[in-house]
A = this chain, B = another copy of it.
Amino acid sequence: MLTLDFHPTGRHFLQIPGPSPVPDRILRAMSLPTIDHRGPEFGVLGHRVLKGIGQIFQTKHPVVIYPASGTGAWEAALSNVLSPGDSVLMYETGHFASLWNKMAVRLGLKPEFLGLPGAEGWRHGVRADMIEERLKADTQHAIKAVCVVHNETSTGVTSNILAVRKAIDAAKHPALLLVDSISGLASAEYRHDEWGVDVTISGSQKGLMLPPGISFNALSPKAMEASKSAKLPKAFWAWDEIVEMNKTGYWPYTPNTNLLYGLAEACDMLLAPEHGGLEGTFARHRRWGEGVRAAVKAWGLQIQCADPAVYSPVLTGVMMPDGVDGVDADAVRRIIYERFDCSLGTGLGKVKGRMFRIGHLGDCNDLTLMGALAGCEMGLKIAGVKLAGSGVQAAMDYFGSHPAPVALQKAA
């Protein structure tokens, strides 16, 4: 029998920016017996999850559900609308934008990678003005797609997608808008239709509170049209057969049934009117972000995101101060893990060792965050980091004086 926790007792604080903690309610749903994916019960399930996930993406168009983790959905988005050698404009918000760019190269596309220079560039959101300028210069419309990350998981920056849409429109450019909202969806505000996104990519293990293993492409009619002539080879990822067969509530190949059980439950939880629906979900995460940032500021440490307009409600990146001898961010993380049974996100790519990330996404609440912040504060001190003040105190001040947006549901 597998033993997965090296700590003697109590519940692990999983405060990485995904996978987020899976609520018991979802784990229980996932433990329902696997059924025949060609049988009558399955069609009921299929219709239900397709309807629910559409509401989460805020779209009336098809959402393709892949029995594959999020990286696959990146590939799916590119493969369905692009052809070998196509130019695409990507924007470097951080490590995940860089990985997506690397994938585009690997698939035989020609990505151009916009962005501000150096590690400092990773502290800002997408510059819609730079995109507009670049598209205006592309008078031949060689660029087939603009690819941006909504919530950059490696930094804690949530870019303004509507601004990117407006930039493309202002440039009168026909490029498709492809957006990765793997870590943003269902925590940060997101409106696929209203914001004019052509393909939104997302995954299960963040705001949807599911284990990893299921991912999504939300489509626009324009993207579906583009997919008819796109030439990158595709079979598993091909939208056409899936969208067609989904009309009946079924899939052309074996879906991952038990994760769909979890997805049905997750949609019920996220959309529950008594908790304010999707807007209530967004409001809760905004508030948690505020509280955590209050703590970081009180410690006297820098927030990775340098622009308050694009602070992430999903996670907060915390930069290590200079001059802490021999102690990088990962050493602090290790102390917090070993001493206090709390996992934090590591610094990735350009910022490795120089920052750590606190997740406040998915199934969270005030006291869980208070526990995590206490773990951070104790761990930073043990590591010898000088703190300006108590972040825990600041977070208590914030949470104590700012009630959650939707009041406690009383028993019926």
- The interface of chain A, by Cβ under 8 A from chain B, is 1-2, 4-14, 16, 18-24, 27-41, 43-45, 48, 66-72, 74-75, 79, 84, 103, 106-108, 203, 205, 211-214, 232-236, 238, 253-259, 261, 264-265, 268-269, 272, 274-276, 280-281, 284, 337-343, 346, 363-368, 370-372, 374-375, 377-378, 381-382, 390, 392-393, 396, 399-400, 403-404, 406, 408-412
CA A43 – CA B39 in complex, angstroms?
A: 38
Q: Nearest Cβ distance between residue A205 and chain B, in whole angstroms?
A: 6
CA A258 – CA B21 in complex, angstroms?
A: 12
Chain B residues with CB below 8 A from A34, complex form: 14, 19-22, 205, 211-212
Contact (Cβ within 8 A) A39 B393: no
CA A319 – CA B382 in complex, angstroms?
A: 32
CA A96 – CA B406 in complex, angstroms?
A: 39
Chain B residues with CB below 8 A from A264, complex form: 2
Contact (Cβ within 8 A) A343 B36: yes
Could you name 19 residue pairs across A and B whose Cβ atoms are closer than 8 Å?
A2-B32, A6-B41, A8-B284, A8-B409, A9-B284, A13-B367, A19-B34, A19-B254, A35-B343, A67-B68, A67-B69, A67-B72, A67-B213, A71-B235, A107-B235, A213-B214, A339-B366, A339-B408, A370-B375
What 4 new A-B contacts, CB under 8 Å, besides A4-B261, A22-B33? A35-B343, A68-B72, A72-B236, A393-B393
Q: Which of B8, B38, B340, B411 contacts A272 (CB 8 A)?
A: B8
Chain B residues with CB below 8 A from A20, complex form: 34
With contacts A36-B343, A69-B255, A374-B392 known, is A9 near B275, CB below 8 A?
Answer: yes
CA A214 – CA B67 in complex, angstroms?
A: 8
Contact (Cβ within 8 A) B10 A364: yes
Q: Nearest Cβ distance between residue A109 and chain B, in whole angstroms?
A: 9
Report copies per complex: 4
Nearest-neighbor residue (CB-CB) of A410 within chain B: B6
Chain B residues with CB below 8 A from A205, complex form: 34, 254
Give the 7 A-B residue pairs with the shortest CB-CB distance, closest first. Answer: A10-B365, A213-B256, A1-B1, A371-B371, A367-B371, A8-B275, A68-B68
Q: Nearest Cβ distance between residue A317 and chain B, in whole angstroms?
A: 16
CA A166 – CA B400 in complex, angstroms?
A: 50
CA A205 – CA B11 in complex, angstroms?
A: 17
Q: Nearest Cβ distance between residue A194 and chain B, in whole angstroms?
A: 25
Chain B residues with CB below 8 A from A211, complex form: 34, 256-259
With contacts A393-B390, A396-B392 known, is A106 near B238, CB below 8 A?
Answer: yes
Nearest-neighbor residue (CB-CB) of A406 within chain B: B8
Contact (Cβ within 8 A) A19 B257: yes
Q: Which of B265, B281, B341 contacts A367 (CB 8 A)?
A: B341
Q: Which of B67, B69, B75, B392 contacts A254 (CB 8 A)?
A: B69
CA A221 – CA B343 in complex, angstroms?
A: 38
Chain B residues with CB below 8 A from A7, complex form: 365, 408-409
